[in-house]
Amino acid sequence: MTYRRTKQRQGIIEAMERHGGHLTADQIYALVKAGFPRLSLGTVYRNLRVLIAQGAVRELAFGNAFSYFEVAKEAHYHFICRVCGGVEDAAVPVDQQFTALAQRTARGGFKVEDHRLDFVGVCSACQRAGRRKGKRAVKQ
């Protein structure tokens, strides 16, 4: 299926690029709403699905209540803060040997296309604030 490149989709991409990525749909909506006053959150979700199908946007689901979205670019890993939920790109070279190893060990004809590796821990802001999971502030 072919999709048109609409002004709203272009606005979503541009807002994500300006911000740097790792945005929720609500955050994208807030960024794009000023340029499109009649825009609804549902329209943002529909356009994100189209952009994902086109390969222009990548959805990142980390097992919490919401997904993050980023402009699709070269493969990379992520640092995820388990306290605040923040996500950052990890400047760690992508190791294609993981994909090759998985393909060699895959069973039942499974075809490995890619892999994802996330590093989970506590970001520097949460460390400075003394926050731990389930607690607002802890004295260290």
- What are 90-104's pLDDT values in tens digits? 999 988 888 888 888
Choosing from 55, 73, 91, the residue where a domain stops is 73
CA neighbor of 68 nearest in space, from 118, 26, 22: 22
Mean pLDDT of 45-59: 94
Choosing from 73, 97, 131, the residue where a domain stops is 73
CA 32/CA 9 separation, integer angstroms = 10
Q: What is the CATH number of the domain that holds 122?
A: 3.30.1490.190
What per-residue confidence (pLDDT) applies to 133? 57
Six-digit token string for 137? 């502030």
Q: Is the pLDDT of residue 135 over 70?
A: no
CA 81/CA 137 separation, integer angstroms = 16
Full residue range of the structural domain in which residue 68 is found: 1-73
Mean pLDDT of 30-40: 94
120 vs 135, residue with greater confidence: 120
| Residue 33 shares a structural domain with residue 59 | yes
Total domains in the chain come to 2
83 vs 138, residue with greater confidence: 83
What per-residue confidence (pLDDT) applies to 1? 59
The answer to whether the CB of 16 falls within 8 A of the CB of 56 is no
Q: What residues pair up with 132 in beta bridges, in sequence order? A: 135
Q: How confident is the model at residue 54 (pLDDT cuts 50, 70, 90)?
A: very high
